[in-house]
């Protein structure tokens, strides 16, 4: 599968299904973890069927139906950067201000590779996915609303945010709809950035479910902290406003005037980026797209199993606690069975008491381990799911929103050029009509240049995001290091408990001698 061959190269409709086994321990259906409301959102809908990026750095391709004349194709055909900067066409000259042209014009392939390394280092230097979370979210127990109750959250940032006037305690009160608004405006401004999904919002009685509300709070915490680690999104005015404006956000939105225009507005592509571009970048995106669904499915199942293994240990721990109680119960009945040798039975009972205490100690260790895993380790695994979903969402939005109507404009230019040629042979044609057609040609050429410029800006943006996404590979390391460290730590503590009880039972009497 490539960006050129498949009608849906991004596999946007593919969803993993778990085994057909009904055993609760074998069912690894991860659809609840890998589903994304962002990918199905109305704001991402476009009439482009399957926009694809050619590995050739000059063109992109789109598959479109006849009714989709507004978004027919991307920069296909001969409208390459070389063509629209050809000096023979005034509208495409670099002097028209469309491109930033203060860079040298020639660069060898080796120089281009070096330039990319420098460019990539600059792109990722301010991004560290392993950095500590700087935003905490706590649920306010009292729910508000007359007919429809809603939950409020205390959102507190732990560090000082630049150029903001935050409350003294750095806390604001927000509700779920405020997070949804923030995500919506970010998608409008930064459609080709890594924007994470929100946890689902339920209605009616489910909203009062304590387990659901806790999962939603954790999901919102991951959402805002991943945003605050992003080198671009974390500096957005609306994100900072969301974290610092002490008033009700809905009231603020009604009063304030805020900008949601796309980030590419009035921007010009740099010639140095165009010269740096290499077909391998697009090939890497193809490969990532082909594996994103299977990676999501596999990691979601890993996350399920990490929690399931711990729940199994919790059941074992419960059995240990049950056994401790039964051993204590047996202690009270055993002396009546062996009344002929009270001293020996008292000795055995003393050791049984140590066994019961040992089982209880192991149970307490298991509870501490379980609490620590669900508090610190499991969120790391789920955060990586959010990161993978953000990349999948970026690819989906590219397919839906990166098209243009360059082919129609080129065709219209050809038709109008033919008309001009015919008018030259007909002196009776009015000059105003000739000028109108000429201006139409110039206008269409300008539109082509602008759309090609936007296409390059999108490509640059996606390459930036894909570059910083590469840093998230270290989240995999962090997840397994944390999980293994936790198991090793508590395995050692458990081993110590078993060693102590083993030394104790070694002194239990085995005979009368």
Q: What is the DSSP string of 114-134?
A: HHHHHHHHHHHTT--TTSPP-
For 74, 257, 402, 443, 449, the CA distances from 69, given in Å and listed in that order, are 12, 34, 14, 18, 19
Do both 140 and 122 map to the same domain?
A: no
Residue 398 lies in a domain: yes
In a domain? residue 239: yes
| Domain-located, residue 12 | no
CA distance 36 to 218: 16
Query: Regarding predicted confidence, which is higher, 371 or 67?
Result: 371
Q: Is 272 exposed, middle or buried (0-12, 13-18, 19+ CB in 10 A)?
A: middle
Same domain membership, residue 285 and residue 428: yes
Please check whether residues 162 and 286 belong to one and the same domain: no
Predicted local confidence at residue 75, as pLDDT: 37
Is the pLDDT at 102 greater than 90? The verdict is no
Angstrom distance (rounded) from CA 449 to CA 406: 9
Quote the pTM value. Answer: 0.77
Identify the domain containing residue 222 by its residue range.
135-267
Burial class (CB within 10 angstroms; exposed 0-12, middle 13-18, buried 19+) of 258: exposed
* CB atoms near residue 433 (< 10 Å): 11
Give phi and psi for 512, each to the nearest 5. -75, -15
Of 438, 458, 473, the last residue of a domain is 473
CA gap 473, 476 in Å, rounded = 6
C-alpha distances out from residue 168 to 45, 308, 504, Å: 42, 42, 57
Higher pLDDT, 32 or 468: 468
Are 151 and 250 in the same domain?
A: yes
pLDDT-derived band of residue 334, with 50, 70 and 90 as boundaries?
A: confident
Identify whether residues 248 and 286 lie together within a single domain: no
Q: How many domains are there within the chain?
A: 2
Instruction: Report which of 168, 199, 192, 173 is spatially closest to residue 263, judged by C-alpha positions.
Output: 192
**Shared-domain flag, residues 167 and 186:** yes
Question: What value does the mean pLDDT of the chain take?
Answer: 80
Reduce the DSSP state of residue 415 to 3 states and report it: helix
Is the pLDDT at 457 greater than 90, yes or no? yes
* Model pLDDT for residues 319-332, shown as the tens digit of each residue: 999 999 999 999 98
Residue 125's Cβ-count burial label (10 Å; 0-12, 13-18, 19+) is exposed
Residue-wise pLDDT tens digits, 48-89: 333 344 444 333 333 333 333 322 333 333 333 233 333 333
């Amino acid at each position: 599968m490539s960006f050129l061959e498949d009608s849906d190269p991004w596999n946007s409709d593919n969803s993993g299904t778990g085994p057909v086994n009904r055993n609760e321990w074998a069912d690894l259906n991860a659809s609840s973890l890998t589903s994304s409301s962002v990918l199905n959102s109305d704001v991402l809908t476009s009439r482009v069927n399957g926009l694809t990026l050619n590995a050739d750095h000059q063109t992109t391709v789109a598959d479109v139906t006849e009714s989709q004349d507004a978004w027919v194709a991307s920069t296909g055909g001969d409208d390459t950067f070389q063509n629209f900067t050809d000096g023979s066409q005034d509208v495409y000259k670099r002097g028209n201000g469309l491109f930033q042209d203060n860079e040298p014009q020639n660069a060898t392939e080796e120089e281009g590779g070096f330039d990319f390394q420098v460019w990539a280092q600059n792109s990722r230097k301010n991004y560290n996915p392993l950095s500590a979370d700087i935003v905490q979210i706590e649920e306010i127990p009292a729910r508000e609303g007359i007919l429809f109750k809603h939950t409020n959250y205390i959102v507190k940032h732990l560090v000082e945010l630049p150029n903001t006037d935050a409350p003294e305690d750095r806390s604001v009160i927000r509700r779920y709809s405020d997070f949804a608004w923030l995500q919506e405006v970010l998608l409008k401004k930064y459609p080709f950035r890594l924007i994470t999904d929100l946890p689902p919002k339920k209605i009616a009685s489910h909203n009062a479910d304590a387990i659901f509300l806790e999962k939603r709070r954790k999901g919102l915490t991951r959402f805002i902290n991943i945003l605050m680690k992003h080198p671009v999104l974390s500096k957005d005015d609306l994100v900072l406003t969301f974290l610092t404006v002490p008033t009700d956000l809905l009231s603020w939105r009604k009063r304030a005037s805020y900008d949601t225009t796309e980030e590419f507005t009035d921007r010009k592509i740099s010639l140095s980026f165009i010269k740096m571009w290499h077909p391998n970048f697009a090939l890497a995106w193809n490969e990532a797209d082909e594996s994103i669904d299977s990676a999501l499915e596999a990691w979601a199942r890993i996350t399920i199993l990490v929690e399931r293994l711990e729940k199994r240990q919790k059941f074992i721990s419960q059995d240990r606690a049950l056994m401790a109680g039964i051993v204590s119960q047996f202690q009270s009945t055993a002396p009546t069975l062996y009344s002929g040798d009270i001293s020996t039975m008292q000795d055995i009972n003393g050791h049984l008491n140590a066994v019961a205490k040992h089982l209880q100690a192991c149970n307490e260790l298991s509870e501490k381990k379980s609490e620590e895993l669900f508090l610190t380790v499991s969120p790391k695994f789920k955060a990586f799911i959010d990161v993978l979903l953000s990349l999948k969402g970026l690819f989906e939005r590219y397919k839906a929103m990166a098209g243009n109507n360059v082919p129609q404009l080129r065709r219209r230019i050809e038709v109008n050029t033919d008309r001009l040629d015919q008018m030259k042979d007909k002196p009776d044609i009015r000059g105003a009509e000739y000028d109108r057609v000429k201006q139409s040609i110039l206008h269409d050429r300008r539109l082509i240049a602008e759309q090609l410029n936007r296409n390059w800006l999108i490509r640059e943006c996606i390459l930036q995001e894909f570059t910083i996404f590469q840093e998230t590979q270290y989240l995999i390391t962090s997840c397994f290091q944390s999980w293994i460290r936790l198991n090793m730590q508590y395995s050692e503590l458990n081993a110590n408990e078993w060693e102590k009880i083993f030394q104790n039972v070694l002194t239990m009497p085995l005979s009368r001698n």
